[in-house]
Structure 1
Amino acid sequence: MKMAAAPVRLVAGRGLWLSPLLLAAAIMAGTAIGETRLPFLTVLQTLANHLWGAGYPVDGIEAGIIWSYRLPRAIIAACSGAGLALTGVVLQALLRNPLADPYLMGLSAGASTGAVLVTVAGVGGGAISMSLGALTGALLAFGCVVALAHAVNGAAGGGRATQAAAAIILAGIAGSQMFNALTAFTIARSANAEQARGIMFWLMGNLSGVRWEDVWACAGVSLAGVALCLWYRRGLDAFTFGADGAASLGINVQALRGSLITATAIMVGVLVSKVGAIGFVGLVVPHAMRFLVGTRHDRLVPASALAGAVFLVAADVISRILVPGQVLPIGVVTALVGAPAFALILVRGGARR
């Protein structure tokens, strides 16, 4: 099996330079395919008109659909997929757990709670934006998880570097359940029937309301996440040997883990506030890319970001055409792929033991 995987990794690694072309093709497909199919030529002409003032004769309604609705939606899907995939790469490396992702850590649940408190319960009296509420919720969830994990380690005593990863995961599960309960309580207490329906749809992932002004925030955090992960790529590689092994190689384990998980919390908070809670991207994509390009983070980070972007754009397209006349929450599509992958990871992990 390992000998068969080696040529695949070699070919995939050499073909990484083609990935931007694949991403561009995915965004073009996401712009052209939807409830109403539009010719690729019309998409190209619309882009040329807006970017270079080409002056091609394009129907005004079609041009509006392409430029004001589908193109920003496809770009935000790509940015969100890249960011969520990176969070999975970071958490799985730092915690040395193949099942670690933002949802297991409680970050997405905290971000959802913060966004719902601002939009439904009116926390902040209109002075706090939804993005800031989601970011605050994600950071608060991260703080609770870290505090609980620290308490578990302190009570256990000894071997704290070895126990930290398991304690953080267990604390993340507890934090996730707590913040999900707070979200449900807030919706039940403060939202009317129409608000509750809209929020539940958004919590499963919804790109319908995104516009160009949302692109900059999503693109900014995703690009910053890629740059940060590449900057710390050697530290992430060192965690292959565990926290104790990384420390013996001169890595400041606490500083690296704290800075990267904090960056992950910020990324999740911003993305959840724009597109809702989309599951399984951070779980599935890093595992697929490890098979294709290996475990070295100088390749794994860009490969996971690009694959996550393409995966979420494709999922968004499927969510718009799977049921005629109805747009599904994008989280439904990612779960249809992610749930079997999650089961496969569990089975393979049990077989290795």
Structure 2
Amino acid sequence: MPPSRTETRQPSLPGTKAATVLVPVLSVALLGVLLISVSIGAISVSALDALKIVTGHLLPGMPWMSDGSLTTMQDNAVWQFRLPRAALAALTGASLALAGALIQAVVHNPLAEPYILGVSAGAGVGAVSFIVLGLGISALGISASAFAGAMIATAAVYLLARKAGRIAPQRLILAGVALGALFSAITSYLTISTDAQNVYSIMFFLLGSVSAATMPQLLLPALALLTVAAFAMTHARQLNALLAGDDAARALGIDVNRLRTTTLIATALLTGAVVAVSGGIGFVGLVVPHVARIIVGSDHRRMLPVALLGGAVFLATCDLLARTLAAPSEIPLGVLTALVGAPFFLWLLRRERADRMGMNR
């Protein structure tokens, strides 16, 4: 007697259906948020006209770009200002969420986030030093200095976290927290010792903003995101094994120290690349990966795409709110993400503590 259909059906992994649905839904939501972002502003542009402008630049030769239906002001507003800003917000959100998911796997702690490495604080020292030394307020110069500071912080954390030739997760956390506090103290001293006219630029960078985004600025974070995302997806099974513990991963033939080192370097480079152009935006790398893990499970093959797209949608939406809620003034991105992330973090702490004490049974 041939087996029935129910007998031959393979059980699906928990979260597989949710991930299958969420990936296209989040992709459509991201496109929708980007379209809304490029159509809203002081210069009136409908969503359809904004879409025409973007496609006209991406696909030269479109008739509506030269028939007079779109003004030069509309074209410049969408292509030169709004689109780079919205795209950088999405890239930053995706990068921070991906970095958060990776660092949580590296340190075996779901409450970790990219800034635990002290990379953001190091970038802050680099950017503030550039401004305080009187080298100018050039966006390129500030970004380059911030990236250099982030890489110095990464090297310092890496050296301090090594024990007997291997990276110890607990030492990694302690080194990141200690260096982050040190770099923050240096930044505070430089801020209070500089001229008053520099304080606004310093604070806006430290609180995070993508308002000055340009098309060339998208290149570095885009390349970093593509590279690290490819690395993460090709090492998803090894990261899954790492979640089970170092001994279990070694039993499967995985070089734990090499995996942890390469993942740490990739995470630091990705974080440094986005912090250099977007400033200090916290809590994205904590909140988004954890929500993704709750919905689709801990399997990185499902969780990473959901976290990446979720981070892009989250920060692109926050940026849209940042420039519309208090218009014509603007709210720094770090303020909005903290308003969401801090209460969520406190809830997670209470939840984890309750779990350990057996109170959620």
Match of 2:80 among 40, 60, 68: 68
**Gapped runs of 5+ residues in structure 2?**
1-11, 357-361
User: Is the CA contact 1:279–1:331 (under 8 Å) kept in the aligned structure 2?
Assistant: yes
Q: In 2, Cα distance between the equivalents of 1:233 and 1:23?
A: 24
Q: Structure 1 residue 302: deviation in Å? A: 1.2
Residue in 2 aligned with 1:12?
A: 18
Q: Compared with structure 1, are the counterparts of its residues 54 and 90 closer, same or farther at alpha carbon in structure 2 (3 Å cutoff)?
A: same
1:224-303 pair list within 5 angstroms: 224-303=227-306
Tell me the residue number matched to 1:165.
Answer: 169
Deviations 1:218-241 (A, max 9, x none): 211111121111121111111111
Task: Say whether residues 1:24 and 2:24 are aligned partners.
Answer: no
Cα pair 1:8 1:292 within 8 Å, conserved: no
1:318 is aligned with what amino acid?
L
| 1:95-135 per-position Cα deviation (integer Å, ceiling 9, x unaligned) | 01122112222111112212222343268xx9x94334323
| Cα separation, partners in 2 of 1:334 and 1:8, compared to 1, 3 Å | farther
Return the offset for 1:45.
2.1
- Assess if the C-alpha contact under 8 Å between 1:88 and 1:286 holds in 2: yes
For each residue in 1:112-167, what CA deviation from the matched residue of structure 2 results, as whole angstroms up to 9, or x when unmatched?
A: 212222343268xx9x94334323322222232233333xx56xxxxx98x92222
Partners of 2:240 and 2:17 in 1: CA distance: 22
Q: Give 1:37 shift.
A: 5.5
TM-score by length of 1: 0.89
Residues in 2 aligned to 1:7 and 1:333: alpha-carbon distance in whole angstroms: 35
Larger radius of gyration: 2
Q: For residues 142 and 49 of structure 1, what CA distance do their matches in structure 2 show?
A: 41
Match of 1:216 in 2: 219
Distance 1:318 1:231 in 2: 35
User: Is 1:310 aligned to 2:313, yes or no?
Assistant: yes
Q: Distance in 2 between matches of 1:35 and 1:164?
A: 52
Q: Distance in 1 between matches of 2:192 and 2:276?
A: 20
Given the superposition, is the C-alpha separation of residues 34 and 314 from structure 1 closer, same or farther in structure 2, using an over 3 Å criterion?
Answer: farther
Give 1:328 deviation, angstroms: 0.6
Give 1:1-353 correspondences, 5 Å limit. 9-15=15-21, 16-34=23-41, 38-52=45-59, 53-56=61-64, 57-121=69-133, 129-150=141-162, 164-189=168-193, 191-353=194-356
Match of 2:5 in 1: none
- Please tell me whether the aligned partners of residues 131 and 198 of structure 2 are also in contact (alpha carbons under 8 angstroms): no
More moved, 100-109 vs 25-34: 25-34
TM-score, normalized by length of structure 2? 0.87
**Percent identical:** 38
1:34–1:334 Cα change, 3 Å: farther
Superposed CA RMSD in Å reads: 2.4
Match of 2:3? none
* 2:238 and 2:249 in contact (8 A); partners too: yes
Separation of aligned partners in 2, 1:87 and 1:210: 21
Q: Per-residue deviation at 1:216?
A: 1.3
Q: What CA distance in whole angstroms lies between the structure 2 residues aligned with 1:295 and 1:38?
A: 42
Post-superposition Cα deviations, 1:161-213, rounded to whole Å, max 9, x if no partner, equal 8x922221122111110011111222333x32121111101210111111111
Partner SS for 2:328: coil
